[in-house]
Structure 1
Amino acid sequence: MASDTKLTLAKLAELAGVSTSTASRALKDNPLIKKETRLKIQALAKSHNFSINAAASRLRTQKTHVIAVILNLIDNTEQSTTDPFLLKLVGELNQALNAKGYELLLSNSFMASDDWANYFIHSQRADGILVIGQGKSTAKIDLAAKSGVPIVVWGDAKTQAPYPIVGGNNFQGGYQGTSHLLSRGAKRVLFLGDSEHAEMQERHKGYTQAHAEAGLTPDPSCTCAIDITSKAAYQYINERIKSNGLDFDGIVCVSDMVALGALKALKERYVGIPSDVGIVGYDDISLAELMHPSLTTIRQNTQQAAELMVAQLINQLENKPTESQVVETSLIVRRSTKHD
């Protein structure tokens, strides 16, 4: 009897030599299924003590083997799914999920409405959710987690949260990039990005700490709140130079795309890089090495990140304990900063 209760609808369908949906319809006596097939499957179910009600409820609770990956973009941003770092992480997540037998469903926070639990899980689009980015507000993430949905977030792992967060050591990344510029003689280093994001906030703390250790106090006007796009960086650097002249000799950027915009604006004005201004990016996208000059940047191990995120999600699906985890972060020195 014990083995009979473990018989799944999929197994029953296999025994009958039909698809799972055909078996389900046959058990519900759906007239679209040939009578002969219906009787055969019903008899098979009866001989295995597989009740029709159990079949129906199992169909309702059937796992989709799909995981929703949500790009949690903030409102009023031009950052999009074409951002190379986001694409890189999505690609790594896809591989990590496939290796565990799951498919990836890509969505963004604008499409997924406010109630992610209903949109993805209760409607049987997916079994769990992976979120890329905490954004400025975690309201939607918190709401989904509160309703018991399996969820893992790529963000700042130091954040206290009732769900696991996997992310790079943002404080260390901000500190490494800034220290590198200051140790090579920079005196006025801009922090280019939005420090209200949880991740960027930690990077900004690292930027401040590096200054403190060098015996410097960063000028508040050197913290530049901009959207995380190359276009925003390009416009900001152009406008700043028009208004103030070249009043900085280093830039720490919150992404390589932001660095690319800053680099373009400076080169168009014939500013020497790194002789006049040193630039450090963040993420080490493949384009970083191809820029001219090639970009010094902070590399986050996205493959490790994806594997950790998927492992934490599967722990939740299997009712095992979970924890937030930090991913390796390293400084990659190239030609956009002065060499020793």
Structure 2
Amino acid sequence: MKSERNLTLSDLARIAGVSTSTASRALNDNPVIKQSTRERIQALAKEHNFSINAAASRLRTQRTNVVAVILNLIEHTEQSINDPFLLKVVGDLNQALNDKGYELLLSNSFMATDDWYNYFINSRRADGLIVVGQGKSEQKAIDAAKAGAPLVVWGDPNSQSGYPIIGSNNRLGGKLATQHLIESGHKRLVFLGDTGHAEMGERYAGYVEAHNEAGLEHDTALIFPIDLTSQAAYNKINETILQHGLNFDGIVACSDMVALGALKALKERYIAIPGEVGIVGFDDIAMAELLHPALTTIRQNTREAASVMVTQLLNQLNGKPAFSEVIDIELIVRKSAS
């Protein structure tokens, strides 16, 4: 008998009393094979120190079992992978991909240059693409999809596109954040975020809608199109107070990191939160409830979103239709705008 070191797939199939194709499917956890059979063959493989030659398997299937996750950062931004929300999205995507037997290749829109199809798919770096963020331009994603790249985007799911977009109900989130501040007695509300960004533009639309429904005019002088970082928010709030005094009593921040910068600027000036200025963020990152005061925010369900994105991408890889989908959001009331 062959040594376990040289055991082949056909040897393992013979030991298990099944065909070679059944053994292969069982080792790849293919649901076509009964779970009890899969578990028995996998246990035999472990007992005999057998593992599939991954490289040979990939050559046979023409699959890399890798998905490229691209952080679609806008030009001239200081936002990076260090952003806690992006880290959370990437972490949840990694888990969702691993659960389906795929590895994650992390890149960004600058590293990938302009031709995502050739850089990732044609060069066989990855089987498909998950793009985190529409940013201000979708051209790279549009070109990749037209070239035939299996592609899913995290962004505004109400956008018209030739590929599936998964994302939160951004307009409703912006509306709920604004309504909460108005109902708490705040009337002059800053919108802190870049309205030219697809998702932030929808949050701004919700901000405007809430004002209209409350019979309030929103002051366009209080719309601050800043970069998506805490430092940009900190600088803008300081600059505004220096130039105009405290001419607002509430802030709708486009992200929790932006809210964090605004909160810091106000606290350094001993401005009471929420007594003088209420703040609502967006994302519900882990540190939101640890801030002082704890941050009222709009929670995005990134775990559910990651699962949906992976499912829609695998549908494309398996020749099935894929669709955009809206993920529910939730207002989390804490102390910054109670």
Where on the TM-score scale, by shorter chain, does this alignment land: which range? 0.7 to 0.9
2:336 — aligned with what?
336
1:16 Cα deviation after fit = 8.8
2:291 — aligned with what?
291
CA deviation string 1:67-118 (max 9, x = no partner): 0000000000000001000000100000000000000000000001100001
CA separation in 1, counterparts of 2:201 and 2:261? Answer: 21
CA separation in 2, counterparts of 1:206 and 1:222? Answer: 15
Q: Is 1:129 the counterpart of 2:129 in the alignment?
A: yes
1:232 — aligned with what?
232
CA separation in 2, counterparts of 1:14 and 1:150? Answer: 31
Q: Is 1:277 the counterpart of 2:249 in the alignment?
A: no
Q: Name the amino acid aligned to 1:242.
A: L
1:264 Cα deviation after fit = 0.3
1:223 Cα deviation after fit = 0.8
CA separation in 2, counterparts of 1:126 and 1:97? Answer: 13
Structure with the greater alpha carbon radius of gyration: 1
CA separation in 1, counterparts of 2:11 and 2:87? Answer: 43
1:59 Cα deviation after fit = 3.2
Matches within 5 A, 1:1-340: 14-15=9-10, 59=59, 62-338=62-338
CA separation in 2, counterparts of 1:245 and 1:14? Answer: 75
CA separation in 1, counterparts of 2:290 and 2:61? Answer: 49
- Name the count of aligned residue pairs: 288
2:178 partner SS: helix
1:15 Cα deviation after fit = 4.3
2:70 partner SS: strand
1:276 Cα deviation after fit = 0.2
1:272 Cα deviation after fit = 0.2
2:182 partner SS: helix
1:124 Cα deviation after fit = 0.7
CA separation in 1, counterparts of 2:210 and 2:268? Answer: 30
1:273 Cα deviation after fit = 0.2
CA separation in 2, counterparts of 1:116 and 1:137? Answer: 14
CA deviation string 1:226-263 (max 9, x = no partner): 00000000000000000000000000001000000000
Identity between Structure 1 and Structure 2 (%):
64
1:186 Cα deviation after fit = 0.7
CA separation in 2, counterparts of 1:202 and 1:188? Answer: 20
| Off by >4 Å, runs of 4+ in structure 1 | none
Q: Name the amino acid aligned to 1:329.
A: I
Q: Name the amino acid aligned to 1:318.
A: N
Q: Name the amino acid aligned to 1:273.
A: I
CA separation in 2, counterparts of 1:148 and 1:217? Answer: 46
1:252 partner SS: strand
Unpaired stretches in structure 2, ≥5 consecutive residues:
1-7, 13-55
2:216 partner SS: coil
CA separation in 1, counterparts of 2:113 and 2:197? Answer: 21
Change (3 A) 1:142 1:169: same
CA separation in 1, counterparts of 2:323 and 2:128? Answer: 16
2:232 partner SS: helix
Unpaired stretches in structure 1, ≥5 consecutive residues:
1-12, 18-55
CA deviation string 1:258-316 (max 9, x = no partner): 00000000000000000000000000000000000000000011111000000000000
RMSD over aligned Cα atoms: 1.6
1:328 Cα deviation after fit = 1.1
1:14 Cα deviation after fit = 3.8
CA deviation string 1:139-167 (max 9, x = no partner): 00000000111000000000010100000
CA separation in 2, counterparts of 1:117 and 1:165? Answer: 18
CA deviation string 1:38-93 (max 9, x = no partner): xxxxxxxxxxxxxxxxxx9x839720000000000000000000100000010000
Q: TM-score normalised to the size of structure 2? A: 0.83
Q: Name the amino acid aligned to 1:111.
A: M
1:321 partner SS: coil
Q: Name the amino acid aligned to 2:163.
A: Y
Q: Name the amino acid aligned to 2:194.
A: D
